[in-house]
A and B are shown apart, each in its own frame.
Chain A
Amino acid sequence: MEQTRLDIVLRTCGNSGVLDNTAQRISGTDRPLLIKKCVKSLVEAINNANGLIEMKLYVLDDHSTEEFVAELKSIIGTCLIDYEFISLVDKPDNFKHSYQYSSYEQFRYGRDISTSLVYFVEDDYLHATDAISAMINFYLEMRNFTDLNSIAVYPYDSTHNYASPNVEPCRLMTHGNRFWRTTRKSGNTMFIHSNDVRRYWQLFEAMATLYEFGGNVHEDATLNRMWNNGVIYGGPITLFSPIPSVGIHVSFAEPVQINTELNDWRQRYNEINL
């Protein structure tokens, strides 16, 4: 019987992100500070889940400066679980952008290294202090409780779910201190079983190798084809997002806010001292 464990595969890049660097992110801070705060929030969430199941953190860094790497390592050094910092090599020629290669490597770690659960996470997600434990507990209970084939979690209750015409029917349930809704949209960040990464590798590979900001190949054409929302989309994996979010994508759209710890995400952001 499988030993349930979690590999967290974080990719970082202090220089530039996948998303448009000219647009102002909602944090209002520069990218290095944003990443450091988000990484620290992740480490805090990991530490709060320490002991729940066996975990390991892999950090795949994409050519950040030495100074930034040192700062990242300082944050990651506070992690209470086993961790490994990997500086990625230059992208091979068959990758157009470096972020495509780092994305590929992140997914490949899930495919080749992980034997159980894997959390792919990008460096611009701000986590609630209970984010990791909430996802682990939800995943394990749902897998034991239901006859669903596979499930996955996208930690962000995305604004996309609520923008017309994207308001689609879903299933809504309660677990722990949150509601959990089905959805059919994720980013690269997801909590999933590595068996599903291997099973649907073509979609991961396509997302990693073909995605370009503003291009034609995006989540809907790749990763989102895996998802099932239990109502009108019948992909092989039922995808859930917590309400409220356990991780907020600190991008360009103000996240959904309700009465929770992350209701005032800015306060949480500002409270993280580096």
Chain B
Amino acid sequence: MIGERRFNFNRFKLEQTSNGRVMDDKVDFLCVLQTHSLGNSQKDNGMVRYGCEDKAEIVKRCVRSLVKSMNYAVQVLPNVNFRLQVFDDHSDDASIETLKETLATAQFETNLEHLETRGIMPSILRCYEHGGEHGKDMVYYAQDDYLFCETAIWEMIEEFYDASQKLGNWCVIYPYDDPWRYVPHNIVPVEIVLGRKRHWRRNYKTASPFMTHVDVIRKQWDLLYKMGTHAVTGDMEDNTINKLFSERGYTLLTPIPSLALHFQFDTEKDPYIDWREWWNKHA
């Protein structure tokens, strides 16, 4: 539990531990990313992604933005050990090559593994399993259609530790401020706090890519497993991982405005961010 290890936010060092760590231990950040360049489930459903219909192009730019954001975090958080594990679900050869080129720009450890399974839910489950098995501290589950701003990972880590310390429990971070949360029937009571560069709001709804501590993943594994084995439905998160917030006492925080954009439907455009500006940075 966080109470056992006081975190010095400014110096980003562990001050005192009771679990064998020493003062100058590095904190570990494991990002587990799922990629798939070919199928576009949204197009299959008759929905068109905003910005670009070519899933391979979306994956290329989104993964580049993630690596760039992690590279930025490497520079500003020297006491964090960054790792990126990619699970690819049968992307085409060209996309795999592009992916490898992007990973080659990483200033941290990366690993690419090709899945034997097919489909989004087995990919999610494999990512969840890997995070639970190999995570040491922070684990961020990422997907290939989230476009990040450069400071995203840094701000997420800062807020994660800051909020967790104040809450006395590990929090959960979802970096995308979904406009759906602001339609009238979804406007629920929330707390707002200040982060380093923006406000953060309490949220009760995440999607499968989120960030938390590995302890949460292990303790609440039944919910993650249920998510990873759930059919693709509109209520799959509510039936599974959203119970972290509705039933199990964890706090979900989302930045306002977003640190990552979900490149899906028109209705998911963040009204406060010029997605084209972000998109064009990663051509």
Contacts and interface: CB of A to CB of B under 8 A. Distances in A.
Contact of B182 (A162, A173, A243): A173
Contacts of B188: 171
A161 interface: yes
Contacts of B201: 172
Interface stretch (A2-10, A24-32, A62-70, A174-182): A174-182
Interface in B168-224: 179, 182, 187-194, 197-199, 201-202
Interface in B48-69: none
B199 A170 contact: no
Nearest to A183: B192
Interface string A153-178: 00000000110100111111110010
B187 A179 contact: no
Contacts of A164: 166
A243 B199 contact: yes
Contacts of B257: 259
Contacts of A181: 192
Q: Is the interface of A mostly helix, strand, loop or mixed?
A: loop
B278 to A, nearest CB: 13
Nearest to B256: A179
Nearest to A157: B199
B271 interface: yes
Range class of the A interface residue count: 20 to 34
Interface string A220-251: 00000000001110000000000100000000
A51 to B, nearest CB: 25
B198 A169 contact: no
Interface residues of B, number: 20
A258 interface: yes
A70 B192 CA distance: 43
A259 B189 contact: no
Nearest to B190: A172
A61 B93 CA distance: 74
Contact of B192 (A161, A173, A232, A259): A161
A256 interface: yes
B123 to A, nearest CB: 32
Contacts of B179: 174
Contact of B187 (A162, A173, A177, A258): A173
A177 B272 contact: yes
Given A161-B192, A170-B190, A258 B271 contact: no
A231 B189 contact: yes
B190 A174 contact: no
Contact of B189 (A167, A230, A243, A258): A230
B191 A168 contact: yes
Interface of A: 161-162, 164, 167-174, 177, 179, 181, 230-232, 243, 256, 258-259
5 contacts: A167-B191, A168-B191, A171-B190, A179-B272, A258-B199
Interface of B: 166, 179, 182, 187-194, 197-199, 201-202, 256-257, 271-272
Given A167-B191, A168-B191, A172-B187, 11 more contacts: A161-B192, A162-B194, A167-B193, A170-B191, A173-B187, A174-B272, A179-B199, A230-B189, A232-B189, A256-B199, A259-B257
